[in-house]
Amino acid sequence: MKKIVLPLLFAAFCLFATFSAQSTEAKEKNQCVECHQSINDGSIVQKEYNDYKKSNHAQKGVTCDKCHGGYADQKDKEIAHRGVRPANDRESLVHFQKIPSTCGKCHRAEEDAFISSKHFKKLSTSGKGPNCVTCHTPKKARILTSEVVRFLCRECHNKDSSYTSNKLTSIPADAQNTLTLFEKTTLNADWLGEYLSLATKTKDVSSQQKQYQDLKRKVKRAKVDWHHFKIYDTQVTLRELLHEAEDIKESIK
Ligand code: HEC
Ligand code: HEC
Ligand code: HEC
Ligand code: HEC
Ligand code: HEC
């Protein structure tokens, strides 16, 4: 009797183990992504997925439901789509006026800065201000470079624009300069980091290490503060940070 029971128990255990593994796997799988990745009909819906799949968001597990709502644990399309509304529906989480708060669930600091800007004011009144995805695109979570920013801002900041009344036509070039400063600051901070880690081997640079960490925090802060769109203030801050990086480096010699 014992001889039969033991293998049976063992078999039952294996069966249980596979079942529970399967069910946790099914739970972990995001059904929005699972189903959408297999759509292959050349539609806009497929294109959205293709844009998404290479993004930093996709890599970090920011799945469709985080921005669109719905039920990500449901395999059935109709049930999964409950609460998912097309972008032109005012109640949709991705309606253009709702986008800042949808992104702000995870990017709270950027949202807070953005809400104080003229851009947000225009967005929430006439609808003519940019929202997060005007600049970052809905799917790629694009990081803007000094080269592309000029063209982007020019879409509304040009002398024939029906969007802006003040015709601040220098904005595109000024934005490009600001982002160039961002790029320089980031690069110099990175260099400083390398320099410090080499110096650590021969000197005590602990106070400079602290200053360097502080500098990195300030650069991050500036990227958030940029979303007030007080671009001349941002330029002043970045020039100060460039000096700070220089001073830290000098103090090591
Ligand atoms: C079983 C397959 C399946 C699942 C699961 C699924 N979708 Fe879809 N989804 C589709 C298909 C197919 C379309 C194309 C339009 C249609 O057939 O309804 C679509 C369309 C969409 C659209 C465009 C809607 C519109 O009105 O234009 C969005 C947004 C969307 N899905 C988001 C989601 C989200 C978010 C989830 C998870 C909570 C999800 N989908 C789960 C198959 C699926
Ligand atoms: C980071 C937030 C975010 C994620 C993640 C995201 N989307 Fe979107 N999606 C948006 C926004 C915002 C729009 C509206 C774009 C606009 O206003 O042009 C949009 C638009 C769409 C549209 C256009 C049709 C419509 O009216 O809604 C489809 C289809 C879509 N998304 C599907 C998906 C699918 C499928 C996934 C997951 C594979 C996904 N999205 C993940 C933010 C997101
Ligand atoms: C569920 C949380 C979540 C939501 C909602 C979300 N994001 Fe993100 N986002 C992230 C995470 C996580 C990262 C990766 C951060 C990192 O790599 O340090 C990220 C990164 C980014 C980046 C930087 C990309 C890069 O390559 O470094 C941008 C830009 C961005 N998100 C914009 C948006 C926009 C615009 C929306 C709304 C349409 C949005 N996010 C909604 C979590 C989210
Ligand atoms: C008018 C254009 C514009 C709008 C609107 C905008 N951003 Fe940005 N955002 C930028 C630019 C340009 C940068 C680049 C600064 C940098 O990182 O060098 C940036 C940087 C970021 C970053 C940091 C990426 C990185 O380099 O680490 C995140 C996250 C982000 N934005 C999220 C948002 C969210 C969320 C919203 C809406 C509440 C928003 N942005 C609205 C232009 C915009
Ligand atoms: C979708 C259109 C649109 C885009 C794209 C856009 N803006 Fe604006 N911007 C506006 C509107 C509308 C105003 C409000 C000014 C007005 O009433 O004429 C404004 C105002 C501003 C102001 C003045 C803010 C203040 O507080 O006085 C700055 C600076 C600015 N934008 C920078 C930028 C930068 C930098 C970019 C590109 C990264 C950009 N904008 C892209 C529509 C846009």
Task: Tell me: do 131 and 203 sit in the same domain.
Answer: no
Point out the ligand 4 atom lying closest to the alpha carbon of residue 113.
38
In a domain, 241, yes or no: yes
Q: Give the position, in ligand 1's atom list, of the atom nearest the Cα of 38.
A: 2
Per-residue pLDDT band for 210 (boundaries 50, 70, 90) equals: very high
Same domain for 104 and 53? no
Q: 47-95: per-residue pLDDT in tens?
A: 999 999 999 999 999 999 999 999 999 999 999 999 999 999 999 999 9
* b/e 123-144 (16+ beta carbons within 10 angstroms → b): beeeeebbbbbbebebbebbeb
Closest ligand (CA of 96): 2
What average pLDDT does range 36-44 have in this prediction? Answer: 96
45 within some domain: yes
Which residue CA neighbors atom 21 of ligand 2 most closely?
48
User: Looking at the 3D structure of the chain, how many domains does it have?
Assistant: 3
Do residues 141 and 177 both lie within one domain?
A: no
Q: Is residue 226 lining ligand 4, measured as CB closer than 6 Å?
A: yes
Q: Are residues 229 and 187 in the same domain?
A: yes
218 shares its domain with 195: yes
Residue of minimum CA distance from atom 1 in ligand 2 = 67
Please tell me the predicted confidence (pLDDT) of residue 161: 87
Give residues (CB < 6 A) around ligand 1.
31-32, 35-36, 39, 45, 64-65, 68, 70-72, 75, 77, 80-81, 84, 86
pLDDT score for 20 = 44
Domain boundary among 84, 108, 131: 84
Instruction: Give the global pTM.
Output: 0.92
Q: Indicate whether 80 and 43 sit together in one domain.
A: yes
Considering the domain architecture, whether residues 182 and 231 belong to the same structural domain is answered as yes
- Please identify, among 154, 182, 198, the residue that sits at the C-terminal boundary of a domain: 154
pLDDT at position 33 over 70: yes
Q: Which atom of ligand 2 is nearest to the CA of 58?
A: 5
79 and 123 housed in the same domain: no
Q: For ligand 2, which residues put their CB under 6 angstroms from it?
A: 32-33, 36, 45, 48-49, 52, 57, 62, 64, 66-68, 86-87, 94, 96, 99, 133, 138-139
Range of the domain at 132: 99-154
Say yes or no: 120 and 78 in one domain: no
Co-location of 79 and 103 in the same domain: no
Expressed in angstroms and rounded, the spacing between residue 55 Cα and the centre of ligand 3 is 9
100 lines ligand 4 (CB under 6 A): yes
State the average pLDDT for the chain. 91
Q: Is residue 181 part of a domain?
A: yes
From the alpha carbon of 165, which atom of ligand 5 is closest?
18
Mutate which of 74, 77, 82 for ligand 1? The one with the most ligand atoms within 8 Å of its CB, which is: 77
Query: Within this chain, do residues 179 and 241 fall inside the same structural domain, yes or no?
Result: yes
In this predicted model, what pLDDT tens digit does every residue of 234-251 receive, in sequence order? 999 999 999 999 999 999
